Amino acid sequence: MIQRKPEQAFPRAQLFTERALSTVERFMHIQASSGLVLLISAALALVWANSEFAPSYHALWHMPLSIGLGDLSFSQPLHFWINDVLMTIFFLVVGMEVKREIHEGSLSNMRQAVLPLAAAFGGVMVPAALYLAFNMNSVGLNGWAIPAATDIAFAVGLLALLGRSVPNNVRIFLLALAIIDDIAAILIIALFYSEGLDLSGFLVAGVGVLMVLTLQQMGIGNAYAYVIPGAVVWIGLLITGAHPTLAGVMLGLMTPVIPIRMRERPLEMLSRITKELSGRSQGDDELEFMNKQLRGLRLAQRELMPPAMRVQTALHPWVAFVIMPIFAFANAGITIEGIDLSVNGAYWVTLGVLAGLVVGKPVGIFGMTWLMVRLGVCTLPVGVTWAGILLLSLFAGVGFTMSIFIGMLAFSDPNLLAAAKLGVLGGSVVAAVLGLLCGIVLIRRQSKLNRSD
């Protein structure tokens, strides 16, 4: 029998490190945590951009960053590396989430998917229509898609703040809704914000796709092997004029959701190697044997999960706690004094985005859901009430990351872009506050009903 070493026998520094890492790990698995980190990043950006040090904030993101080899050099502002390179990883995770939902999640069954599909359709069309109503004869017309997007991390994180009193099916419905919303946003970016396409770039991207498919057919499961083909796809889309972050979506949708074929099942392989190691004597070519078995253990451990789940799980902490906060920090810093809402229709851009997120989102989602149920096409999921639909409809109005991203594609005019960001931040804050207040009221009402029973 193996005796466990008492905790006191370990050095204090090691015990402290283990406890600290355990705390960090628990924090990173709480859904509300990523939304909180995102909120702090946005708040810091706003404070810096409206302080006496505001010029340094804007100068930082315009600072050039170059990579080169010999005479070849590629130089772009820091903003580009964040918005066009880092965000590709964010869209890669989104693509994998969509692939998994289609394969085995809420989008795998058409009858299950109809209601969130319809709700998401209403949540895209009504905000866009409301924005157009304010900006039909304005130069801000191109920003119609800004209020159509939902920020998954913020929306689900805010719902998690309300605790376990909210039924799990409400969270699942919101997650499905937000994922469909992201699919719509991706299609909008591809169709409406990628102009003047250079067809030669598609040939380069096609080569990258063929490289990915070849590696998959060869049974290569190591994610690092796909970095170069992924970079080729990204470069191809950059050449076309389409937004290169769409490469992330393409690669995410191409990632397999079933493990690669192996001659031996991973669990059986782990069991066999463990038995062989335990029965091995110390003198028989120990080093070579151990290296071979360790390679087998790493392969079996890797293939316990499908590639899409494995890569998504590995990237999620980086996306939630590094990439998205950096994006928020780089893009949420609006210098309020520098915005002139009286020029060039900027006021109507801000109002259109604000109204789209705060009013258009809940009206579109709740209204379309009610219509589908009323017509008898769908029924509400088990445990989901109309109060729950209202709650998630309000939280869906938190656009933030995706809305700011679309705004940056829609407007080259700095004043219009700042006005759009102001509407996104204001609308997201109002939607979050309304959702939390609604949730608190619903929880208190439910607790009263439980006590009366």
Identify which of 198-212, 360-374, 428-442 has the greatest average pLDDT.
360-374
Closest among 277, 304, 307, 281 to 293, alpha carbons compared:
277
Over the stretch 237-279, which tens digit does the pLDDT of each residue have? 888 877 788 888 889 888 888 776 666 666 666 666 666 666 5
| pLDDT (0 to 100) of residue 123 | 93
Q: Is the pLDDT of residue 28 over 50?
A: no
CA distances (Å), origin 299, targets 154, 220, 302, 349: 36, 11, 5, 53
Q: Would you place residue 322 in the very low, low, confident or very high pLDDT band (cuts 50, 70, 90)?
A: confident
> Cα separation of 168 and 156, whole Å?
11
The answer regarding whether domain 34-49+108-194+308-453 maps to CATH 3.30.70.270 reads no
Domain range list for the chain: 34-49+108-194+308-453, 260-304
| pLDDT (0 to 100) of residue 393 | 93
CB-CB neighbours of 238 under 10 Å: 19
138 vs 361, higher pLDDT: 361
Least confident of 68-77, 188-197, 326-335: 188-197
| pLDDT (0 to 100) of residue 319 | 85
HEC string of the chain? CCCCCCHHHCCHHHHHHHHHHHHHHHHHCCHHHHHHHHHHHHHHHHHHHCCCCHHHHHHHHCCEEEEEECCEEEEEEHHHHHHHHHHHHHHHHHHHHHHHHHHHCCCCCHHHHHHHHHHHHHHHHHHHHHHHHHHCCCHHHHHCCHHHCCCHHHHHHHHHHCHHHCCHHHHHHHHHHHHHHHHHHHHHHHHHCCCCCCHHHHHHHHHHHHHHHHHHHCCCCCHHHHHHHHHHHHHHHHHHCCCCCHHHHHHHHHCCCCCCCCCCCHHHHHHHHHHHHHCCCCCCCHHHHHHHHHHHHHHHHHCCCCHHHHHHHHHHHHHHHHHHHHHHHHHCCCCHHHCCCCCCCHHHHHHHHHHHHHHHHHHHHHHHHHHHHHCCCCCCCCCCCHHHHHHHHHHCCCCHHHHHHHHHHHCCCHHHHHHHHHHHHHHHHHHHHHHHHHHHHHHHHHHHHHHHC
185 vs 415, higher pLDDT: 415
Percent of the chain with pLDDT over 70: 79
Q: Is the pLDDT of residue 2 over 50?
A: no
Over the stretch 11-27, which tens digit does the pLDDT of each residue have? 766 655 556 555 545 54
Question: What value does the mean pLDDT take over residues 183-203?
Answer: 80
266 vs 314, higher pLDDT: 314
290 vs 66, higher pLDDT: 66
Q: Would you place residue 126 in the very low, low, confident or very high pLDDT band (cuts 50, 70, 90)?
A: very high
- Reading the block at residue 56, the tokens are 């340094």
Percent of the chain with pLDDT over 90: 24
Q: Would you place residue 191 in the very low, low, confident or very high pLDDT band (cuts 50, 70, 90)?
A: confident
Rounded to two decimals, the pTM is 0.72
Mean pLDDT of the chain: 81
Contact 234, 247 (CB under 8 A): yes
Q: Is the pLDDT of residue 107 over 50?
A: yes
Over the stretch 77-96, which tens digit does the pLDDT of each residue have? 998 999 889 988 988 887 88
Question: What value does the mean pLDDT take over residues 355-372?
Answer: 95
Burial string for 428-445 (b: 16+ CB within 10 Å, else e) reads bbbbbebbbebbeebeee
Q: Is the pLDDT of residue 182 over 80?
A: no
Over the stretch 275-313, which tens digit does the pLDDT of each residue have? 666 655 555 566 666 666 666 666 666 666 778 888 888
| pLDDT (0 to 100) of residue 264 | 66
CA distances (Å), origin 443, targets 13, 184, 190, 447: 43, 32, 41, 6
Q: Would you place residue 1 in the very low, low, confident or very high pLDDT band (cuts 50, 70, 90)?
A: very low
Question: What value does the mean pLDDT take over residues 32-55?
Answer: 83
